[in-house]
Structure 1
Amino acid sequence: MTPRNVQQLFDLTGKTALITGGSRGLGLQMAHALGEAGARVMLSSRKADDLEEATAELQAAGIDARWIAADCGKEEDTRRLATQTLERMGAIDILVNNAGASWGSPAESHPVEAWDKVMNLNVRGYFILAQQVANSYMIPKKAGRIINIASIAGLNGNPPAMQTLAYNTSKTAVIGFTRTLAAEWGRYGINVNAICPGFFMTKMAAGLIKSMGEQEMAARAPLGRLGDEEDLKGITLLYASDAGKHITGQWLAVDGGVSVVLGA
């Protein structure tokens, strides 16, 4: 085989990507990355209004984008999302498990229902969607890319003020899920990898960043800043494309070096 050039390796023309939690923040940033590389994109999140706005933004950038509203904390919605995406798009070559929730509460008084809500969306939903997409499309095709969004919160404990036990635990679980799934599904030609973002100015993180101070949070990183609207694009495209075809079972922190300082 003649080796491909870099542009060819990163080209996603003809591929279809499903991104959960894709209507804003990191999910929308990753949707731009995949669409700019040529992929067709299906966005999903709970709110139709947000999805319509995000899809219009992608389409204005020349990306073939569509949407399906679904709550990936609910099994019936998660299964419907996979089925309808395959019906409408005919393929799911790239799955980005990004939908997530957090809950701030001291461990000693953390509500069980809050724990269940976070775990159902951040871990159980990832499993259900990955399993259905793999069984319905990737395993028969003997090819696929699954990208799970974990967090640097899954690499270490928190300062006491952060109090996000369920979220941190769920993201640690996502890393283990990623590595184990990669080991099992490599024989089907499916690459499974994780991204561990640090602090980005997203809606989910905005409250925490505001309470701790944006400048203080940025100062925690050796690079001295928070993540921006471009910082997940490169790793997402690497994991999704043939440029990363020999990478599986791995996680990468995209955090400006925060996890280095914390000793992850």
Structure 2
Amino acid sequence: MNNMFDLTGKVAVVTGASSGLGRDAALSYADYGADVALLARRKDKLDELAKEITAKGRKAVAIACDVGDEESVKAASEEILKAFSKVDILLNNAGVAFRGAVHELPTEDWEKSMDINVKGIYLMSKYIVPQMKEQKYGKIVNIASINAIVADKGPDLARHAYNASKAAVRGLTMGMAATYMEDNITVNSIGPGLFESEMTADSLFKHEGFMNLYNSLTPASRPGRKGELNGTIIYLSSDASSYVTSQHIIVDGGFSIV
């Protein structure tokens, strides 16, 4: 029986690949047979990851890229196509989160949230989708957040720009899915709950009151563990999900149901 999750011969692009969930996803893509283009601003971290992927017998290229800057994205896309000639999978993972309610949030934090979390997906897709349309195949996975549908109570936990930007990711995903399915390009989003990463380690994970509350409210009684998002990412990136598009899969240990 054919393995619908096999990614052998596929090329995956991962933004925000230098750490956390993006790094884990890039390694998982390689484990399932894909070659990987690694994008982030920290080239040194990407170079280290590329060596790990190469050791698995897959090809990897590390490309410094600011997904919020169009010229940077355009140059990175050209480098990707020069290295691999095609892109089959685009994982839009790069993201930032700033604490603050709207009455106190600096304008620059709002703008950076929108530039990275929303504009970044727009720009990466703008330069990758034409090649996917030409080959009549593509899998786009946008990392949104549980915070697209739920919010954290309390002034010290408010992240209004993050809420807004991740809800926008969901809307963008639906629009893209409706347009591109005719070209055999599926577009889906994932809403992770709380996972430890550079973005959460120094904020939420060090907030004892929040962690106690999160664990008490979550049916799993804990945050997500390293690698627990990979199964959903591989599913949406593989032919196992060939008739699935515009879906938003929440991976949160049940937090959003209580």
TM-score, normalised to structure 1, is 0.93
- Percent identity between the two aligned chains: 38
Cα distance in 2 for partners of 1:255, 1:60 equals 32
Cα distance in 2 for partners of 1:166, 1:110 equals 8
Determine if the alignment matches structure 1 residue 209 to structure 2 residue 205.
Answer: yes
Q: CA deviation at 1:60?
A: 3.2
Determine if the alignment matches structure 1 residue 55 to structure 2 residue 50.
Answer: yes
Counterpart residue type for residue 61 of structure 2: R
The correspondence of residues 62-141 of structure 1 with structure 2, limited to 5 A, is 62-135=57-130, 137-141=131-135
Contact 2:14 2:91 in 1 (8 A): yes
Q: Structure 2 unaligned segments of length 5 or more: list them.
A: none
Aligned residue for 2:225? Answer: 228
Cα distance in 1 for partners of 2:207, 2:48 equals 29
Against the structure 1 CA distance between its residues 49 and 157, is the aligned structure 2 distance closer, same or farther, given a 3 Å change threshold? same
Determine if the alignment matches structure 1 residue 158 to structure 2 residue 156.
Answer: no
**CA-atom RMSD, angstroms?**
1.4
User: Does the residue aligned with 1:67 lie in a helix, a strand or coil?
Assistant: strand
Contact 1:102 1:118 in 2 (8 A): yes
Against the structure 1 CA distance between its residues 217 and 60, is the aligned structure 2 distance closer, same or farther, given a 3 Å change threshold? farther
Determine if the alignment matches structure 1 residue 258 to structure 2 residue 255.
Answer: yes
Q: CA deviation at 1:13?
A: 0.6
Contact 2:68 2:123 in 1 (8 A): no
Equivalent residue pairs, number: 255
Cα distance in 1 for partners of 2:190, 2:86 equals 23
TM-score, normalised to structure 2, is 0.95
Contact 2:151 2:158 in 1 (8 A): no
Q: CA deviation at 1:233?
A: 1.2
1:23 to 10, 18, 25: 18
Aligned residue for 2:4? Answer: 9
Counterpart residue type for residue 15 of structure 1: K
Contact 1:146 1:192 in 2 (8 A): yes
The correspondence of residues 181-196 of structure 1 with structure 2, limited to 5 A, is 181-196=176-191
Q: CA deviation at 1:216?
A: 4.1
1:242 to 239, 245, 248: 239
Cα distance in 2 for partners of 1:58, 1:229 equals 18
Q: Structure 1 unaligned segments of length 5 or more: list them.
A: none
